[in-house]
Amino acid sequence: MKNMSRQADHRDKQQPDTQARILNAAEMLFAERGYAATSLRAIASAADVNLAATHYHFGSKKHLLSTVFHRRIDPINEARLAGLASLKAASQPLTTRSIMAVFFGPLRSEAVVSHLPRMLGRVFSEPETISRPILEEQFMEVASAFLTELNAVHPDVTRSELQWRLHFVIGAMVQLLLIGTPLGTEPGRENPEDGLEHLLDFCVAGIEQPGHETGREELP
Amino acid sequence: MKNMSRQADHRDKQQPDTQARILNAAEMLFAERGYAATSLRAIASAADVNLAATHYHFGSKKHLLSTVFHRRIDPINEARLAGLASLKAASQPLTTRSIMAVFFGPLRSEAVVSHLPRMLGRVFSEPETISRPILEEQFMEVASAFLTELNAVHPDVTRSELQWRLHFVIGAMVQLLLIGTPLGTEPGRENPEDGLEHLLDFCVAGIEQPGHETGREELP
DNA sequence: CGACAATTAAAACGGTCGTTTGAATGAAAA
DNA sequence: TTTTCATTCAAACGACCGTTTTAATTGTCG
């Protein structure tokens, strides 16, 4: 990892960019098996590069995961913040649905071309010490931006209450990214974008909680 | 693993039951680090037993995970089905909230005394080939029972639609079990049962989706 | 007591892991 | 051409993995 800006200057080799091949293979395998269960040898083999190349270009397995992660999540979070900004710039008033549609929107564009969805869901539930700090730090900015807008739409709900609801929104989102179609249904038959529509409906209802003032039973 | 019914006859030794110690240690470590990242040596060390004892009593690491898992999830699923049955036996008509309260209820009783919550959430997102079949097979029975009752309350919604909503319910539940309090909030200050109340509110609203007939925007 | 079975203990098995090393490669710079 | 240096390669390092083997220990019962 002595000088990484070299091969970016002229990328006309026989084999496509070694770094990108490693990143793609790592992304696929991390998504399929998780971090701990994926070996650098499996990554190097899938990328058809030498084992030492992974350390040469990325230094360590943890740093490789971090790079794989940021390569996908950074554009998504940028798109989320940009979408939120353009939504506020528009004339119509914001709604829970329009806010959450912006939140889930970036998941669609990348979903077809990469393994990000399952990768994201997998990393989100990794026990490794680096994954959670990265995730938390990276997610806090966009989360607080969306929380502020949701709070503007629901001024009668406390911010901490909305934090809980967004917490469950993320859980439902991870479930979709990680598992896909519901347990007991065979996957592959449905359009992958259908899941996002169901997710949006579910989360909008969960955030708005219109039945909140009705009487409730206690847990048994 | 030649004869497991022996030490159950008289458990009056100096050290508590070796099998139980292994199970408890395995449960704790699986919850903290996940399956792949937890070694049998770490389990044996935490349980203060010999390494070979893990294979003697449980045969393999996978079988140990299966045992740890079933020890906790079986009573929960039985409590769920029993709670659903007694709910149907009661005179009052079922509601979404009462059904989901029964669904989440068993998580409360065990939550204080064991590491099940995070363990469950961890196993739920493991890539290992045995965890998902176990999970799916074990969960399908209770899931379909609850789906049937939810469908009775919401006859206008298709069962496949309700499958999606229960899918997200599970995701939100796993999020609570795995992460706990929302990202950005310091844990430990709140009552752990508060999270279940927030979860119940969120999921009831998501299942009922009262705003479903209103106009919706497209994803950007 | 001695026989016996259940359990624990210690050591090693082959294998894979992340990481490091040092030499070969090959294109650009001089 | 010679020098230079980023990159690739094969090989090995020590450590740890799940599992197996073999022996020692323990408590029970004839």
**B195 and B140 co-located in one domain:** yes
User: Whole-number Å distance, CA A37 to C1' D16?
Assistant: 14
CATH code (residue A44):
1.10.10.60
Report CA-CA distances (Å) from B14 to A85, B1, B11, B18: 66, 22, 9, 11
| Chain A residues lying within 8 Å of B98, measured CB to CB | 217
CB A173 within 8 A of CB B171: yes
Boundaries of domain holding A191 = 65-209
**B199 and B130 co-located in one domain:** yes
Does residue A12 sit within a domain? no
Phi then psi dihedrals of residue B156, to 5 deg: -80, -10
Per-residue confidence band for A211, with pLDDT thresholds at 50, 70 and 90: low
B172–A168 CB contact, under 8 Å? yes
**B46 and B143 co-located in one domain:** no
Both structure tokens of B190: 């709140």
A219–B101 CB contact, under 8 Å? yes
Does residue B216 sit within a domain? no
Residue B125's pLDDT is 67
**B74 and B40 co-located in one domain:** no
Per-residue confidence band for B117, with pLDDT thresholds at 50, 70 and 90: confident
Q: Does B203 touch chain A (CB under 8 A)?
A: yes
**B34 and B73 co-located in one domain:** no
A167–B144 CB contact, under 8 Å? no
User: Whole-number Å distance, CA A215 to C1' C11?
Assistant: 66
How close, in Å, is residue A54 to chain B by CA atoms? 21
CB A177 within 8 A of CB A118: yes
Scan residues 30-89 of chain A and list those with Cβ within 7 Å of strand C. Answer: 38-42, 51-52, 54-55, 60-62
User: Whole-number Å distance, CA A14 to C1' C24?
Assistant: 19
A98-151 pLDDT, tens digit per residue, is 999 999 999 887 766 677 777 877 776 665 556 667 777 778 889 999 999 999
Q: What is the mean pLDDT of residues A14-42?
A: 89
**B37 SS3 class:** coil
Q: What is the mean pLDDT of residues B194-220?
A: 76
Q: What is the dihedral of CA A137, A139, A141, A144, to 10 degrees?
A: -120
CB A30 within 8 A of CB A123: yes
User: Whole-number Å distance, CA A66 to C1' C21?
Assistant: 26
**B195 and B89 co-located in one domain:** yes
Buried b (16+ CB within 10 A) or exposed e, A180-201: bbbbeeeeeeeebeebbbbbbb
Residue A68's pLDDT is 92
B102, with CB counted inside 10 A (0-12, 13-18, 19+), is buried
Give the percent of chain B with pLDDT over 70.
79
Angle at B108 between CA B104 and CA B114, to 5 degrees: 125
Residue A29: pLDDT over 50: yes
**A182 and A139 co-located in one domain:** yes
B204–A211 CB contact, under 8 Å? yes
Element (H, E) at A64: helix A61-89
Between CA B25 and CA A175 the distance in angstroms is 28
Phi then psi dihedrals of residue B210, to 5 deg: -70, -25
Interface of A with B in 133-162 (CB under 8 A): 135-136, 139-140, 143-144, 160-161
Neighbours of B4 (CB within 10 A): 11
Between CA B143 and CA B167 the distance in angstroms is 10
Nearest partner of A202 among B211, B159, B156, judged by Cα: B211
CATH code (residue A154):
1.10.357.10
Between CA A148 and CA A113 the distance in angstroms is 32
Buried b (16+ CB within 10 A) or exposed e, B22-38: bbbbbbbbbbebbbbbb
Report chain C positions within 7 A of protein CB atoms: 5-12, 16-22, 28
**B171 and B84 co-located in one domain:** yes
Judge if the beta carbon of B57 is closer than 7 A to nucleic acid strand C: yes
Does residue B8 sit within a domain? no
Angle at A28 between CA A22 and CA A33, to 5 degrees: 120
Does residue B220 sit within a domain? no
Instruction: Find the radius of gyration of the CA atoms of chain A.
Output: 20
**A134 and A38 co-located in one domain:** no
Those residues with Cβ within 8 angstroms of residue A31's Cβ, 6 or more apart along the chain or in another chain: A115, A116, A117, A118, A119, A122
A140-192 pLDDT, tens digit per residue, is 889 999 999 999 999 999 999 999 999 999 999 988 888 888 877 776 666 76
Between CA A134 and CA A130 the distance in angstroms is 6
Both structure tokens of B179: 């992460």
User: Whole-number Å distance, CA B209 to C1' D30?
Assistant: 73
Residue B10's pLDDT is 31
Does residue B41 sit within a domain? yes
A66-110 pLDDT, tens digit per residue, is 999 889 889 999 999 999 999 999 888 999 999 999 999 998 877
Judge if the beta carbon of B82 is closer than 7 A to nucleic acid strand C: no
B127–A122 CB contact, under 8 Å? yes
**A24 and A100 co-located in one domain:** no
**A86 and A166 co-located in one domain:** yes
Residue B21: pLDDT over 70: yes
Q: How far is CA A93 from the centre of its chain?
A: 27
Judge if the beta carbon of B96 is closer than 7 A to nucleic acid strand C: no
Between CA B117 and CA B107 the distance in angstroms is 7
A10, A43, A58 - which closes a domain: A58
B209–A202 CB contact, under 8 Å? yes
**A50 and A139 co-located in one domain:** no
How close, in Å, is residue A182 to chain B by CA atoms? 5
Between CA A182 and CA B95 the distance in angstroms is 22
CB A99 within 8 A of CB A87: yes
- The answer to which of A215-219, B178-182, B201-205 has the lowest mean pLDDT is A215-219
A58, A82, A111 - which closes a domain: A58
How close, in Å, is residue B13 to chain A by CA atoms? 36
| Chain B residues lying within 8 Å of A102, measured CB to CB | 220
User: Structural domain tally of chain B?
Assistant: 2
Residue B3: pLDDT over 90: no
Between CA A123 and CA B127 the distance in angstroms is 11
Does residue B77 sit within a domain? yes
How close, in Å, is residue B220 to chain A by CA atoms? 6
Residue of A165, A183, A196 to mutate when probing chain B, most B C-beta within 10 A: A183
A209–B205 CB contact, under 8 Å? yes
Does residue B101 sit within a domain? yes
Mean pLDDT, chain B, as a whole number?
Answer: 83
A58, A82, A107 - which closes a domain: A58
